[in-house]
Amino acid sequence: MDHTDRTLDELRRTATDPGRLVLLTGATVVTMDPALGTIAGGDVLVRGDRIVDVGRGLPADGALVVDVGGSIVAPGMVDTHRHAWQTQMRRTIPDVDDLPGYLRSTLMSVAPAYTPDDVHLGTRLAALTALDSGITTMLDFAHNSRSAAHSDAAITALIDSGIRGVHASMAPHFGEWDGQWPRDLERLRSTHVPDDDRLVTLRLAALATPAIAEHLAYGPELARIAADLDIGVSLDVMFGQAASTAIRNWEKEGLLGPHLESIHSTALSADAWAAIREHGMTVALAPTSDAQIGLEDAVPPVDEALAHGIRPGLSVDVEVALASDMFTQMRALLTVQRMRAVNAVHGTDETPSRMTTRDVLDFATLSGARTLRLDDRTGSVTPGKQADLIVVDAEALNTMPLHDAVGTLVLGADRSNVTSVWVAGQVRKWGGALVDVDIDSLRDRVHDSVAAITARVAAAPADGR
């Protein structure tokens, strides 16, 4: 495996050359492209930010050759929903019992204490952590946009990190804020994301119902704003009877469509699922969140999605109570689904309808990209798409020997095995370490931020005002 300083120096020197050729050679290439499959001893040729060819024995004329023998090359993973601003408060509520507990501890108490600098730092920490674990695309459901400066901080943090980011903007649930949302979305569109060909794109974020905060509920006004700006809408708290009723009402109002992402989608009614399917909505599951926090019936609804012909994406959700990586999400979902499948037919002659490791890897890559309407540019190792790639060591203590590359990615590997990460042809991780990131300085800033936030929370009035 080639992870020499000399090669990295050459990659840095030629980083802005749109004609630069890089050949990753000698790997097992898990393309996640149904037409290409998995290629043993395969090569991936990249020109600039694009994959130009995938196969065996590709010509290396004029290319910088990177030997990735003993490795798996796969598409970067896609996190379809994470609340990135709160990342420096990781695992502050590891044993949270329910949604109200999370709302009280994090959104009501901690969120109002965040400055724009804190938002930038938390979002950057989340994005860098995602890259380090092989996630090359992350939707940031930014629901602490207390001012235009808070939103600017969140977007610039995604840009600064080098990740393929989606900024989904939403006002805060509780506490004082400037009242600039949702009209500020027009400024964000024109200032930061004037077109959708950039690495960071924009969506509107909202809640399914007014139960938590009336001003955040999706409806005709927010639908009109999203349509005027030509951006998608990501909907959180999409679970239970209230969300099911909301979906049916939106259908009557003509507000459903493929621009909508339904997050969680837990314990929805059959007719709500039918409406999601009929109107081409996408679905983002949060496997560990549903179970750990106890959302509705606590079961991620992968079987329901598949029964309606919907292949969902996966997401991390909240690091205040959950793990940071997609390996955890894949394993949790696979375990829960297979347990339910076997349990459902136990004691009968029926055959369990089990998911496969390829299914969950698809949810974490290509279907995740499709959930965010980014599958035209990422999610698979396909010629013509942008080069969002990960290289995973298949000869490490916990991954060797390599028998099944998909099984190894889902069941064997972890973030420590991700040796390099590429986003749009640019290397973001090399030799097992993030590129051009001062971890010691970042750590100092994180600790200073936590101390300042904690002091502000302690000084705040008991009612959070």
Euclidean distance between CA atoms 226 and 230, whole angstroms: 6
Please provide the DSSP assignment of 419-434 as one string: EEEEETTEEEEETTEE
Nearest Cα residue to 18 out of 59, 55, 46, 53: 46
pTM of the complete model: 0.97
The third-level CATH classification (topology) of the domain covering 5-76+379-434 is: Urease, subunit C; domain 1 (2.30.40)
Domain residue extents for the chain: 5-76+379-434, 77-371
Which residue's structure tokens are 């009109």? 224
pLDDT in tens, 138-181: 999 999 999 999 999 999 999 999 999 999 999 999 999 999 99
Q: How far apart are CA 127 and CA 137, in angstroms?
A: 9
CA 353, distance to chain mean position in Å, is: 27
pLDDT digits (tens), the chain, 465 positions: 888 899 999 999 999 999 999 999 999 999 999 999 999 999 999 999 999 999 999 998 999 999 999 999 999 999 999 999 999 999 999 999 899 999 999 999 999 999 999 999 999 999 999 999 999 999 999 999 999 999 999 999 999 999 999 999 999 999 999 999 999 999 999 999 999 999 999 999 999 999 888 999 999 999 999 999 999 999 999 999 999 999 999 999 999 999 999 999 999 999 999 999 999 999 999 999 999 999 999 999 999 999 999 999 999 999 999 999 999 999 999 999 999 999 999 999 999 999 999 999 999 999 999 999 999 999 999 999 999 999 999 999 999 999 999 999 999 999 999 999 999 999 999 999 999 999 999 999 999 999 999 999 999 876 554
What is the token pair recorded at 358? 């390829």
* 3-state DSSP assignment of residue 407: helix
What's the pLDDT tens digit per position in 52-92? 999 999 998 999 999 999 999 999 999 999 999 999 999 99
Q: Both tokens of residue 268? A: 């929805």
CB atoms near residue 463 (< 10 Å): 8
CA distance 386 to 240: 38
**Residue 455, phi then psi, degrees to nearest 5:** -65, -40
Report the alpha-carbon distance of residue 336 to residue 291 in Å, rounded. 10
Q: What is the CATH number of domain 77-371?
A: 3.20.20.140
- For residue 194, the SS3 value is coil
| Contact by Cβ (8 Å): 5, 15 | no
Q: Name the token pair of 283.
A: 């679905």
